[in-house]
Structures are given as structure tokens and as C-alpha cells.
């Protein structure tokens, strides 16, 4: 597999992204094209020679976090982001990874790759840490106002992602609601519950916010507004919890001594709750593989995102999604009854 | 002030609730009527004599967590919950506190107290711990499908609560969304943004999930579906974080030693993130004061809930809410344009 990495526009700078690419090269036999400012990339690579495993595509523009997504991709034709997606469109690479402006990544992906046949709305899937295995939540921000059919399709896409990425044969799919019974929730959730029940997905019913971290569900389906709130709330709470722990420990000498003894345990704990450690979020439902990384992703997170891109592209996640949708005629028929348009 | 405490139907039993009542008596000059099974209450009170500060209203039925709210209040007329609200309706007490089935508490409150004039939908307000002061989120579960006017009213009610409870003169009100700019969010949020901007509330614009815990906003407004998901997600994550910390610390002898030294710091940390430590959630927008407590509230949480009930009733929160609504004719006019019904 050949991955294009957009090294510009993140919060941490090109160095960190190039470092992530080099980590990924050490872990897998992939080829990476670094797209971005030539000087910055050269400086980050140094004098080492990586042979054919690393290529560089120099670009002159950067999509910033403040740019309006649609404007940016229209005006900044020589930006690292646009050029990376052009590579994917022209089948010169198999996937794109970017830690830049996530709205612009999404707009570029939709513009250059186009929607997958039979998918109404692409969705962003995010991996959440839990007490047991990883959990996938979709959508976490691509679609703020959704219909039941969209949520059903998010379930199909995230289920395929879970199978390929984590080798779970029948991922347990839950519908995010505010009560476990099928009758609980808002209008969207009630109708989606019927649709998921009629589908071939391994639908386990409604799940609540507090079930998210217990590890008893593999995929959580929700609209992109709720999912994005959940993602950012979790990040914010994890961050705050670490700050609170530090505050309490720094209050007494005795506690500081204890901290020093347990330092390794704290480090592991921090890694488990720190979202920056996790890889990127795949944009599912497009003709091509694209991974959106957090703007403040560290090298480790970038490495993980590149490996996720590699897995998804190599295992043809889109073929799985289309096959699942085709299998699921009952679900689709019900969805068609519900809504006229696609 | 005179508070009715429904001591039945919680996860921890009558003992814990009576213990909470006794803690509250120690902290404030209130009177409390314990409503519930006479034997259970006598056993919990023991032989101590509290004089006129404690009264007991014996009841024969219990609304369980599994009961359907509407059914329960219709059929269980001698339940502790129904009888407590009858006391409030008849003005024999000034407020009700319950840790029972929250749907049934809400249904009872609406049935026996009725909506406050000019309020379309009562809302549940919940207090979240943050790095700085406390934050109030409303609605956290009373209304799953909302219109802009409802969210505006949640802002007015939560603002009054914040003023009275925490003495904040101009509470900063944020609208929960998935981007800081006014144009970001779903259809409901975009319209609500306009309404809040036109109001006399101290509206600081959209806030994101991650802003929740930083302490730079005093009131967050959202619909009851999103708010309930946020509340339960936060509880679940806080719980999981404590489990993860324990797991990491128990892995090595060295870490366990460190834990023992820092035990007090850990205890304080646990208190800061444990939602069971916080008081109840007031149901705002009714002709009377009602506080819904978490089913697993401990005595400390019950004490806090009783003190919140005392503050809200004594300071006539409803008068504040009505005055704020009256002040805000611009907001109301815009809301009336938006929607025909009340």
C-alpha cells in the first residue's frame, strides 16, 4: 500500500508528522508520500536515506485551521491537502492521512473521491478507548442533521470498519439513546431502532452514554451532532481528569513521593485516557480511504493513523460495506419507505 | 423551609436517605418530613429524638425503578413519591427531594405542581464539576425533541438557578454545539443561537463538549437528548477512569506503595470526579421546587440535594425566572415568530 501524508496544517508542525511517518515505516512495509513544504520536510527527514519507501511531493500552500473548508479547497489548489487528495483520485496512492482542518479534509474527500455507490452520507468514525476493547462511534461530525436511513448506513460502515480493523466477526452495534428500551429516545432514534432491528447487523438495541466505556458494545451509532459532542466531551473530561489528579497530588510532599513511586502506573494511565495517543478517524462511505487526525496528534497517533489507512485500503473496506448493504435488502426497503430521496 | 424527602425507591435504601436528611439538619435550620415505610424510617432514625425538625409521613407503596412513570403515579396513590408531591401541592412543604425513578418524579411533579406560567417545557438542570466553579447544564433529560424557544427558556431557568445557587450575578450562558461560530451546529442550534443573541441573557455563544470542564462557562443549554447523553457519558467516563487508574496501580508493588503514600490525594481526586458526590438535579419550570437525585446517591449527595432545595425555595427561584422572561420581550417576540404554539 502507498499512503499520502499531508504534513501541513496541524497544530504540532511538519516535524511531528514526518516522525509519525517514519514510525509507521518501521512497523509495516508501506510506501509513504509526504505532501507539503519541501524545506520543512527536508529538515525533518535530515540526511537519512529511506530509498523508495519515502517520496516527497512539494506544495506551496497550506490550508489553515481557520480557513473555510469550501473556500480553502477552491482557492488553495496547490495546498498539501488538495494535492494529497488529487494523488488518491488519480490512483497514485491508496489512502490519504491528514491532521489539518477536518472540515476541509472532509470537503476535499467528498470533492475528489465522491460518495460510495448506495451510501447517502459519508460519516466520520472515531475509536474510543474503553475498559475492554476499542469502540467505534459513527458519525462523529460529518452530518449534523440526519434521517434514520443515514444512521442505519453509519452502522453498516462502522461495522465493516470494526471487522477489518479489530477482527471482530459480528460487531455488536448499539444505538445511542437515553434509555435502554426501544421506545426511549427522540423521534430520530425511535425510527432508527426499527430500521436497525430489521437489518442484518448484530444490533443489540439502545445503549446509553455510560455504556460507552464499559466495552460491551463494539459500534455505537448516532447522528454527527451528538457524536461530535460525545467525542469532544470525552476528550475534555479526560484532559480535566488528568489536571485534577495532578493538582491533588501536588498538594502535599507525601503525595508527591507516592507519585514518584507510582510514576510508571500514572504514565500508563495517562496513555489510556489521552485521546492524542489514538490514531485518526476514518472517513467512511467514499470512493477511497481517507483518515482525519486530531490537529494535536503526536507522532505515535500519526503512525497509528497510517497503519489504519493501510489496513482499510489493503482489506478493501468499501467492498465489505457494499456487500453488507446488498445483503440488507429488508433494511433498505424499510428505509426507502421512510424517505423518498436518497 | 420545610422539605419533604421521599426515602423509598432509591438504589441504596431508606437508611442512606435518612442519613442524608440528618446531615442536612446539621447544616441548616430546616424542617424535614420523611415520606415512606414507617418501619424502615424508624429503624434508620433509631432512638434519637429530633423534636419538630423531623416528621414522618408513613406510606404503603413504592414506585420502583422499573415502573412506567405514568402508570406508577396513577396506580400507586399511597406511594412515598406521590404523597410527597401531594404535600407540596397542598403547600404543607416547600420542596420535594427524591432519589427514586426519575421519570416518575418528573411525571409526578408535572401532574401535581403544573407548569410555571410562561414556561413551555420544564427542564432538568444538572450540576457538572469543572476545573474551576460548578457548571449547570439544562436540559439533561426532560425533553428529547425541542424547539429553539424551549432551549431559550432552559437558558433563562438555568441562569436563575446559577444566580441563586452559586451567587453568580451574570451567569455566562453557552449553547452546546460542534463549532464555536454561530453558523455551526444543527438546525435547532442555529436558530437557538439567534434567539439567545437577541435575549438579555449573558450569552457567550456556542461552546463545545470540551469546554464543559474548563470552567469558563456557567450555564450550558442543550436539548434533553444531548444533555442526557452528556451526563451519562461523563458519569461513565469518570467511573471508567477511576477503574483504569486502579488497574494500573495494582500492577506493581512499587505502584501500590506509591498509592498508599498518595492515598489522601487519590481520595480527593475520586471525590472530584465521582458524580455520586454531587447533589440532585432541580426540575425547573414548575409551580414548586422539586429535586431529582441519582438513584445511587449517597448520604452526602442527599444532604446536598436538600440544601439545594432549601436555597431554591427560600430564594424563590420561580419569581426570578418569571422576572427574567418578562424582561426578555425581544427574545419572546422572536420565539413567538418562530413557533405558533406555546
- Would the CB atoms of A209 and B248 count as touching at under 8 Å? no
Among the candidates B85, B113, B141, a domain finishes at B113
Same domain for B55 and B147: no
Which residue has 436538600 as its cell numbers?
B306
Dihedral angle of Cα B174, B213, A177, A308, to the nearest 10 degrees: 110
Give the list of residues 6+ apart from residue B166 with CB closer than 8 angstroms, or none.
B133, B134, B218
Contact assessment for residue A220 and residue A241, using Cβ atoms and an 8 Å cutoff: no
Same domain for A79 and A181: no
Nearest neighbour of B240 by CB, restricted to A178, A213, A252 = A213
Same domain for B157 and B52: no
- Would the CB atoms of B131 and A213 count as touching at under 8 Å? no
Give the list of residues 6+ apart from residue B254 with CB closer than 8 angstroms, or none.
A261, A262, A264
CATH code of the domain containing A28: 3.40.718.10
- Would the CB atoms of A248 and B272 count as touching at under 8 Å? yes
| Chain B residue numbers touching A143 (CB-CB < 8 A) | none
Q: How do residues B128-163 score in pLDDT, each as one tens digit?
A: 888 888 899 999 999 988 999 999 999 999 999 999
Nearest neighbour of A258 by CB, restricted to B131, B236, B259 = B259
* Residue A286 per-residue DSSP state: B
Output the pLDDT for position B332. Answer: 55
Same domain for A151 and A99: no
| Chain B residue numbers touching A178 (CB-CB < 8 A) | 141, 144, 224-225, 228-229, 232
Task: Work out the pLDDT band at A237, boundaries 50, 70, 90.
Answer: confident
pLDDT in tens, chain B (342 residues): 999 999 999 999 999 999 999 999 988 889 999 999 999 999 999 888 888 999 999 999 999 988 988 999 999 999 999 999 999 999 999 999 999 998 899 999 999 999 998 899 999 999 888 888 889 999 999 998 899 999 999 999 999 999 998 999 999 999 999 987 777 888 999 999 999 999 999 999 999 988 888 889 999 999 999 999 999 998 888 888 888 888 888 888 888 888 888 888 888 887 777 766 667 899 999 999 999 998 888 999 999 999 999 999 999 999 999 988 888 765 556 555 555 443
Domain that holds residue B45: 1-113
| Chain B residue numbers touching A177 (CB-CB < 8 A) | 225
Q: How far is B22 from chain A (nearest CA, A)?
A: 30
Same domain for A180 and A115: no
- Would the CB atoms of A265 and B244 count as touching at under 8 Å? no
Query: Residue B133 in 3-state DSSP?
Result: coil
Same domain for A149 and A67: no
Q: How far is A26 from chain B (nearest CA, A)?
A: 28
- Would the CB atoms of A224 and B178 count as touching at under 8 Å? yes
Dihedral angle of Cα A113, A114, A120, A124, to the nearest 10 degrees: 30
Output the pLDDT for position A51. Answer: 86
Q: How far is B20 from chain A (nearest CA, A)?
A: 26
Q: How do residues A89-118 score in pLDDT, each as one tens digit?
A: 999 999 999 999 988 999 999 999 999 988
- Angle, helices A329-338 vs A148-166, to 10°: value is 150
| Cell matching residue A174 | 448499539
Count the domains in chain A: 2
- Would the CB atoms of A265 and B252 count as touching at under 8 Å? yes
Q: Please report whether residue B50 resides in a domain.
A: yes
Q: Which residue of B has its CA nearest to A207?
A: B229
A277/A270 Cα distance (integer angstroms): 9
* Residue A53 per-residue DSSP state: G
Cβ atoms within 10 A of the Cβ of A269, count? 22
Q: How far is B141 from chain A (nearest CA, A)?
A: 8
Query: Residue B177 in 3-state DSSP?
Result: coil
Same domain for A136 and A41: no
Same domain for A10 and A72: yes
Q: Please report whether residue B160 resides in a domain.
A: yes
How many Cα neighbours within 13 Å face the side chain of B22?
Answer: 16
- Would the CB atoms of B237 and A235 count as touching at under 8 Å? no
Greatest Cα pair distance in chain A: 67
Output the pLDDT for position A341. Answer: 44
Q: Please report whether residue B149 resides in a domain.
A: yes
- Would the CB atoms of A229 and B208 count as touching at under 8 Å? yes
Nearest neighbour of B245 by CB, restricted to A176, A187, A269 = A269
Nearest to A211 by CA among A181, A251, A177: A177
Nearest to A148 by CA among A103, A92, A199, A104: A199
- Say whether pLDDT at A56 is over 60: yes
Same domain for A244 and A95: no
Same domain for B327 and B193: yes
Same domain for B197 and B109: no
Contact assessment for residue B51 and residue B96, using Cβ atoms and an 8 Å cutoff: no
H helices of A114-219, where?
Answer: 148-166, 187-198
Output the pLDDT for position A313. Answer: 92
Q: How do residues A119-147 score in pLDDT, each as one tens digit?
A: 999 999 998 888 888 899 999 999 988 99
Lowest mean pLDDT among A176-190, A263-277, B95-109: A263-277
β-pair type (A172-176, A202-207): parallel
Q: How far is A4 from chain B (nearest CA, A)?
A: 28
Nearest to B186 by CA among B141, B226, B135, B243: B226
Q: How far is A54 from chain B (nearest CA, A)?
A: 36
Among the candidates B113, B139, B174, a domain finishes at B113
Q: Which residue of A has its CA nearest to B270?
A: A245
Q: Which residue of B has its CA nearest to A256?
A: B262
CA angle, B189 then B195 then B201, to 5°? 110
More confident: B340 or A166: A166
The pTM (predicted TM-score) of the whole model is 0.88
Output the pLDDT for position B81. Answer: 97
| Chain B residue numbers touching A174 (CB-CB < 8 A) | none
C-alpha torsion sign, points B91, B96, B101, B104: positive
Q: How do residues A271-325 score in pLDDT, each as one tens digit?
A: 777 766 667 899 999 999 999 998 888 999 999 999 999 999 999 999 999 988 8
Instruction: With residue A248 as reference, give the H or E element that holds it.
Output: helix A224-249
Nearest to A284 by CA among A129, A106, A163: A106
Output the pLDDT for position B293. Answer: 93
Which residue has 433563562 as its cell numbers?
B156
Output the pLDDT for position B226. Answer: 95
Same domain for A328 and A237: yes
Task: Work out the pLDDT band at A77, boundaries 50, 70, 90.
Answer: very high
Amino acid at each position: 500500500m502507498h499512503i499520502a501524508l499531508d504534513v501541513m496544517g496541524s497544530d504540532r508542525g511538519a516535524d511531528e508528522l514526518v516522525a509519525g511517518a517514519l514510525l509507521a515505516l518501521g512497523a509495516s512495509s508501506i510506501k509513504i508520500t509526504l505532501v507539503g513544504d519541501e524545506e520543512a520536510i527536508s529538515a525533518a527527514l535530515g540526511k537519512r536515506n529511506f530509498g523508495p519507501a519515502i517520496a516527497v511531493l512539494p506544495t506551496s500552500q497550506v490550508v489553515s485551521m481557520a480557513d473555510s473548508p469550501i473556500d480553502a479547497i477552491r482557492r488553495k489548489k496547490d495546498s498539501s491537502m488538495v494535492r494529497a487528495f488529487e494523488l488518491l483520485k488519480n490512483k497514485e496512492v491508496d489512502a490519504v492521512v491528514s491532521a489539518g482542518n477536518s472540515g476541509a479534509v472532509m470537503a476535499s474527500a467528498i470533492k475528489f473521491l465522491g460518495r460510495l455507490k448506495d451510501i447517502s452520507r459519508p460519516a466520520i468514525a472515531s475509536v474510543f478507548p474503553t475498559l475492554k476493547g476499542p469502540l467505534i462511534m459513527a458519525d462523529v461530525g460529518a452530518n449534523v442533521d440526519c434521517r434514520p436511513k443515514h444512521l442505519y448506513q453509519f452502522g453498516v460502515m462502522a461495522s465493516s470498519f470494526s471487522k477489518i480493523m479489530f477482527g471482530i466477526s459480528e460487531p455488536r452495534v448499539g444505538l445511542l439513546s437515553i434509555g435502554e428500551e426501544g421506545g426511549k429516545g427522540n423521534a430520530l432514534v425511535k425510527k432508527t431502532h426499527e430500521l436497525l432491528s430489521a437489518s442484518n447487523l448484530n444490533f443489540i438495541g439502545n445503549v446509553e452514554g455510560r455504556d460507552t466505556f464499559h466495552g460491551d458494545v463494539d459500534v455505537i451509532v448516532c447522528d454527527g451532532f451528538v457524536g461530535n459532542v460525545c467525542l469532544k466531551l470525552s476528550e475534555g473530561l479526560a484532559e480535566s481528569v488528568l489536571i485534577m489528579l495532578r493538582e491533588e497530588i501536588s498538594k502535599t510532599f507525601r503525595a508527591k513521593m507516592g507519585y514518584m513511586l507510582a510514576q510508571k502506573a500514572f504514565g500508563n494511565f495517562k496513555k489510556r485516557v489521552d485521546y492524542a495517543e489514538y490514531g485518526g478517524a476514518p472517513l467512511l462511505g467514499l470512493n477511497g480511504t481517507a483518515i482525519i487526525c486530531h490537529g494535536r496528534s503526536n507522532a505515535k497517533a500519526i503512525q497509528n493513523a497510517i497503519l489504519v489507512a493501510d489496513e482499510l485500503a489493503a482489506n478493501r473496506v468499501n467492498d465489505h460495506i457494499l456487500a453488507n448493504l446488498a445483503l440488507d435488502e429488508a433494511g433498505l426497503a424499510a428505509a426507502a419507505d421512510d424517505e423518498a430521496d436518497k
